[in-house]
Structures are given as C-alpha cells and as structure tokens.
C-alpha cells in the first residue's frame, strides 16, 4: 500500500498537511486491517492505536465507521486499479504473459505479508450480510472494473493471435475474477502460495482450450 504522503521536505508540516497525513495514515492502516481481517472484526480503536492517534479523534476525520469503510474501498480500488494497469497495460510483453505477471506480483505480495493479507474486496464481499447495504453495489462495481481490465488484456491476446478468434473474453475475464478471489481466500487459509499457482495454471490451460464458449449451461441447470 504505497499511497503517497504529502510532506514538504525541510519544513515542518503545516496544520492542514498534518491533518491530511493523519487522515492518510488512518486510511492506510484501515486498508491493511481490512485486507487481513475484514470489516466486522476491525474496530476503530485498533485503527487509531495502530496509527498512534488518540482515541476519540476518529470523528474529526470521518463521519462514521460506514463512511470510513466506503473510503477504504475506494482507496483500495484505486490502488489496485493502478497495479492492474501497470501489469496488464505493458504492451511490450505478450498479453497472456502480462496476466501471468500480475498473478506473480500478487503472489509475491501475499508471500511478503506472510499470507495474512488477502483481497479487501473479497473479504468485504464475504461479509456483505453484515455490512452497510450501500457497499454491495460499490464492491460489484470495483470487481467489474478489474474484470474490464483483464478482458481488454485478453482481447489484445486474441488480436495478437495468442488466443483463438472465437474466445469470449468477457466470459473468461469474469471466470478469472471469480476463481482468483477463491484462490486468494484459499491461499490465506492455507498460508501458502499453492492455491494461487493451482488456479493460475488451470486458468492459463483454459486459455488454450479450442472452444470454451460452448453452451454447457444445461449441465448445471437441469440437474
């Protein structure tokens, strides 16, 4: 979570800057805690004590825990979108390889944090029954945004002949995010990378299938 901290060198922070820094530090700590343990288990006190801000000053920065949570979702969404843009947007590399680059980076990230941190959006999605209802539409919107980035990458793979012409890139991108969130959840549970590797290998194999868009829905609908 490298969110920029505004501080001018060689000069003590002005009142406003100090406030902004504290606010950003609270958001950073909140994001870290939510990727680890989700929303319900995270108390405002824990966020404040992690940042070293005295109890009671939270409401100086945020109107409620709900508003704070909404800002954490937005902050994480922006951070993660940049990450996706960095890995998937690098046109010097073959498109399927770029997807592999993203997964490898995510794998390193989870390893670096001892597999304690997962995906903030996946965590909150799982807890949705206990969360403010306004979060639901936002979490779905964030996932669809990430999905659009993967879809674009797969479309480039198709244009470059890495993927067969008849592949449904929207469907594949949806499948990717469904499974990837499952892999992150499982890696966190098992505290190791094997589930990420398992999903990554299976997904790349799926990209090699001749016609995955075939209508197999009857299999799951008729029982």
Based on the shown chain and the rule CB under 8 A, indicate whether residue 86 belongs to the binding site for a second copy.
Answer: no
Q: Are 173 and 150 in contact (CB under 8 A)?
A: yes
CB-wise, 36 or 81, nearer to a second copy?
A: 36
Which of 49, 57, 64, 201 binds a second copy (CB under 8 A)? It is 201
Exposure string for 38-66, b = 16+ CB within 10 A, e = fewer: bbeebebeebbeebebeeeebeebbeebe
Q: Are 138 and 124 in contact (CB under 8 A)?
A: no
Q: What share of the chain is helix, strand, coil (3-state, %, to 5)?
A: 70, 0, 30
The 3-state DSSP class for residue 186 equals helix
The site map against a second copy for 27-66 (x = CB under 8 A) is ---------xxx-xx-------------------------
Which of 14, 71, 96, 113 binds a second copy (CB under 8 A)? It is 96
Contacting residues toward a second copy, per CB under 8 A: 36-38, 40-41, 96-97, 100-101, 103-105, 107-108, 116, 118, 122-123, 125-130, 136, 139-140, 143, 171-172, 174-175, 177-183, 185-186, 188-191, 195-202, 204-206, 208-209, 211-217, 219-223
């Amino acid at each position: 979570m490298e969110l920029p901290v505004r501080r001018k060198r060689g000069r003590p922070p002005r009142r406003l800057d100090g406030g902004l820094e504290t606010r950003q530090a609270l958001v950073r700590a909140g994001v870290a805690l939510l990727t680890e343990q989700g929303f319900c288990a995270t108390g405002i006190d824990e966020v404040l004590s992690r940042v070293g801000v005295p109890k009671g000053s939270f409401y100086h920065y945020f109107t409620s825990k709900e508003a704070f949570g909404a800002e954490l979702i937005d902050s994480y969404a922006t951070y993660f979108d940049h990450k996706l843009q960095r890995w998937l947007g690098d046109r010097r590399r073959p498109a399927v390889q770029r997807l592999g680059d993203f997964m490898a980076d995510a794998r390193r990230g989870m390893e670096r944090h001892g597999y304690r941190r997962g995906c903030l959006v996946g965590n909150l999605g799982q807890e949705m029954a206990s969360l403010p209802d306004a979060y639901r539409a936002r979490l779905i919107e964030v996932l669809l945004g990430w999905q659009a980035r993967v879809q674009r990458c797969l479309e480039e793979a198709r244009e470059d002949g890495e993927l067969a012409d008849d592949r449904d890139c929207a469907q594949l991108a949806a499948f990717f995010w469904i499974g990837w969130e499952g892999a992150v959840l499982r890696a966190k549970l098992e505290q190791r990378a094997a589930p990420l590797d398992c999903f990554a290998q299976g997904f790349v194999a799926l990209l090699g299938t001749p016609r995955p868009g075939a209508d197999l829905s009857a299999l799951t609908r008729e029982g």
